[in-house]
Amino acid sequence: MGREAGSRREAVRAAAAEWAVRLSDPACAADTRAAFEAWRAESFENEAAFERAHAAWERTERLRAFKPGVAKPDADLFAPQDAPRRAFDRRSPWTLMAALAAISGVVGTGVMTATASTAYATDIGERRVVVLADNSRIELNTDSKVVVRYRGGVREVKLVKGEALFEAAADARPFVVKARDARIETRGGELSVRLGAENAAVTVRRGAVEVEPDGKGPARETKVAAGTAMVYGPAGSHAQPLSDAEIERALAWRQGAIALNGQSLSQAVAEFNRYNRRKVRIADPSIADLRLAGYFQSTEPMAFVTAVTHTFPVRASEGEDGVIRLARKG
């Protein structure tokens, strides 16, 4: 059984490495990308293997661009030093084999280990899954950044900005998330943390966590159970229970969606602006408190604006700056 499991892991890792290389080709066809999405959706194991392979491929890309001692990017990192220069063709079978070998080597040495500080970030509108060496999993939402460091028997992740979902693998070592001044600890729980302008919110999806809102020691810590959200900030902290449906709505961003359930128009606009460079503004304060409900694609603000103008007596106009402004009709 162990040999079969090992063979399967190797097969999954090899497939993930090949997908990482093929998808990096700008000429990659749509049907190839569709086949990849189907493969990745088959199992968490496939998804995790691909994230490792993708990270490794990105590292080889950086090596290719900044090879020591070379004045300009080397077109063929894998060629012998005394070989004639030739164009790097990712579609070449030989190049593909070399790339797969390079990825396997990097993954084998633990590209996702965090013996030193390692940062992961997303741009506006981007999401990213990071699988750590202990199989803990971090999902980064739009415009977010974390710094990972394993030290002193503690698995530590600092949320620098944005929002992330943390799934801590069961381990004897505590898994600690630092966000603002708080220290949030779990052993094998699943929680999301979101940083706001002043406050931060911790939502526990599974397991339990201990939160020290000011990071000043166990005497001040609060135990937060699954199905609970805790908001903390300079004015203090408070917790409230959430239903499964409320938690899933809060985490709809994992599917690229924004789930509204009674939020005001001003809240909805602020949420869409997190995911898009094209901004929406409320030009008329009298419409700011209109209440909305529904699911929207986070990166399609115009679909949201269209829904608003069709539902309420609201008009939209776009200025020379590209900002979409909402105001009451009439």
Q: Please tell me the distance from the alpha carbon of residue 77 to that of residue 105, in angstroms, as a whole number.
A: 15
Q: Which domains does the chain have, with CATH numbers?
A: 7-54 (no CATH), 117-243 (2.60.120.1440), 256-328 (3.55.50.30)
Mean pLDDT score, 125-150? 92
Helix, strand, coil percent content, the chain, rounded in steps of 5: 35, 30, 35
Write out the E strands in the chain: 118-121, 128-131, 137-140, 145-151, 154-161, 163-167, 175-179, 182-186, 190-195, 200-206, 208-212, 222-225, 228-233, 236-241, 257-264, 280-282, 291-297, 314-318, 324-328
Q: Determine the pLDDT at residue 49.
A: 77
Is the pLDDT at 316 greater than 60? The verdict is yes
Q: What is the pLDDT of residues 182-203, one digit of tens each?
A: 999 998 899 999 999 889 999 9
Give pLDDT tens digits for 261-279.
Answer: 999 999 999 999 999 999 9
- Amino acid sitting at position 58: E
pLDDT band, residue 181 (cuts 50/70/90): confident
Distance CA 178, CA 205 (A): 18
Question: Taking the alpha carbons of 79, 84, 87, 93 in that order, is the dihedral positive or negative?
Answer: negative
Contact, 261 vs 129, CB < 8 A?
A: no
Query: In this predicted structure, what is the pLDDT of residue 79?
Result: 34
pLDDT band at 224 (very low <50, low <70, confident <90, very high): very high
CA distances from 295 to 143, 292, 305 (A): 21, 10, 13
Is 202:183 a contact under the CB 8 Å cutoff? no
How many Cα atoms sit within 13 Å of 305 on the Cβ side?
22
Query: Coil, helix or strand for 183?
Result: strand
Q: What's the order of all strands across the beta sheet hosting 236-241? A: 128-131, 137-140, 163-167, 190-195, 200-206, 228-233, 236-241
pLDDT for residue 72 is more than 50? no
User: Whole-model pTM above 0.85?
Assistant: no
- Residue 281: pLDDT band with limits 50, 70, 90: very high
| pLDDT at residue 52 in the model | 72
Per-residue confidence (pLDDT) for residue 108, from 0 to 100: 40
| Count of Cβ atoms closer than 10 Å to residue 153 Cβ | 8
